[in-house]
């Protein structure tokens, strides 16, 4: 059975102290209103800044339902890349996931399809799971080219994987026009793209593999709209930015699965 996931991408927010406090607050909220699904069905993922990864792992160690993700990694395992963070470094904190190909990385750091394919490979090589982001800008959707673009993003950076490696990947569809804008994709728009992505996976890896793949939606998910989005057949949860920084709201999002 494919897992549902509520993931919080904190982006470049929270100091170490603020971050550990936020995790403590979210866990307190979840104790008061525990998730309806168990760890076999649903996971909660926090993606704090690198400096908070180790503390996040330690604070959540007793909770098998909570996993920790890095927001990025370098393509190489080590070397003269001042200021960068490698997958072995991330792994050494206890984090188990890495967000790869976020639209902010693609836009501000010129991350190419080829670079993202390398990041996916190095992440899998070390036994971590990529949360691979894809999604179109508004002008692409207006030209009705969004399906082609998402297909290209997924084919270029993921479809070199064999079926076993692909089974470790989580996909996040994040239309750029919905990120941080307060304009969420409608449940129908999200479902349409998620079904398209699942069909692509079925064509490449077969229907059982497609049915097992977790596909998250990201872009202005909040405590009010999460349940409607998560109710869609092919939407397996969310990758949440702004609302994941509010302990109460994120706990509500975690409890928005039916």
Single out the residue of 29, 45, 128, 174 in contact with ligand 13P (rule: CB under 6 A). Answer: 174
The gap from C-alpha 257 to its chain's centroid, in whole angstroms, comes to 17
Q: Does 239 help bind ligand 13P (rule: CB under 6 A)?
A: yes
* CA–CA gap between residue 182 and residue 8 (Å, rounded): 16
Residue nearest to ligand 13P (CB): 241
* CA–CA gap between residue 96 and residue 117 (Å, rounded): 18
Sign for the pseudo-dihedral over CA of 181, 119, 216, 16: negative
Q: Does 35 help bind ligand 13P (rule: CB under 6 A)?
A: no
* CA–CA gap between residue 203 and residue 210 (Å, rounded): 9
Interaction with ligand 13P in 94-153: which residues (CB under 6 A)?
102
Q: Does 218 help bind ligand 13P (rule: CB under 6 A)?
A: yes
* CA–CA gap between residue 137 and residue 140 (Å, rounded): 5
Kind and range of the H or E run holding 151: helix 146-158
For every residue of 110-176, DSSP letters joined together read ---HHHHHHHHHHHHHTT-EEEEEE---HHHHHTT-HHHHHHHHHHHHHTTS-HHHHTT-EEEE--G
* CA–CA gap between residue 218 and residue 118 (Å, rounded): 23
Q: Which stretch binds ligand 13P (CB under 6 A): 23-31, 54-62, 150-158, 235-243?
A: 235-243
Q: Does 219 help bind ligand 13P (rule: CB under 6 A)?
A: yes
Question: Is 76 designated active site?
Answer: no
* CA–CA gap between residue 224 and residue 136 (Å, rounded): 24
Single out the residue of 189, 220, 225, 256 in contact with ligand 13P (rule: CB under 6 A). Answer: 220
Which of residues 65 and 220 has its CB atom nearest to ligand 13P in the complex?
220
Which of residues 197 and 243 has its CB atom nearest to ligand 13P in the complex?
243
Question: Is 203 designated active site?
Answer: no
Minimum distance, C-beta of residue 169 to ligand 13P, in the bound complex (Å):
16
Which of residues 19 and 241 has its CB atom nearest to ligand 13P in the complex?
241
Q: Which of 74, 102, 146, 194 is catalytic?
A: 102
Q: Does 221 help bind ligand 13P (rule: CB under 6 A)?
A: yes
Binding site for ligand 13P (CB under 6 A): 9, 102, 174, 179-180, 218-221, 239-243
Catalytic residues, by residue number, are 102, 174
């Amino acid at each position: 059975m494919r897992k549902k996931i509520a993931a919080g991408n904190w982006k470049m927010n929270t100091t170490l102290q603020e971050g550990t406090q936020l995790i403590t607050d979210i866990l307190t909220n979840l104790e008061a209103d525990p998730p309806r699904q168990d760890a076999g069905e649903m996971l909660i993922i926090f993606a704090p800044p690198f400096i908070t990864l180790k503390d996040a792992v330690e604070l959540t160690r007793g909770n098998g339902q909570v996993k920790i993700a890095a927001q990025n990694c370098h393509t190489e395992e080590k070397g003269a890349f001042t200021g960068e963070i490698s997958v072995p470094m991330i792994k050494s904190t206890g984090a188990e996931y890495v967000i790869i190909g976020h639209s902010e990385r693609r836009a501000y750091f010129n991350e190419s399809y080829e670079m993202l394919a390398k990041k996916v490979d190095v992440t899998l090589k070390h036994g971590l799971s990529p949360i691979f982001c894809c999604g179109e800008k508004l002008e692409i959707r207006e030209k009705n080219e969004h399906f082609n673009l998402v297909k290209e993003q997924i084919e270029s950076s993921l479809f070199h994987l064999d079926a076993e490696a692909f089974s470790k990947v989580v996909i996040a569809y994040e239309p750029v026009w919905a990120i941080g804008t307060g304009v969420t994709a409608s449940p129908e728009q999200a479902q349409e793209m998620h079904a398209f992505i699942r069909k692509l996976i079925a064509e490449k890896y077969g229907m059982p593999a497609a049915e097992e793949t977790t596909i998250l939606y990201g872009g202005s998910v909040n405590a009010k709209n999460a349940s409607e989005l998560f109710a869609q057949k092919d939407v397996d949860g969310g990758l949440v930015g702004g609302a994941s920084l509010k302990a109460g709201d994120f706990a509500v999002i975690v409890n928005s699965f039916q």
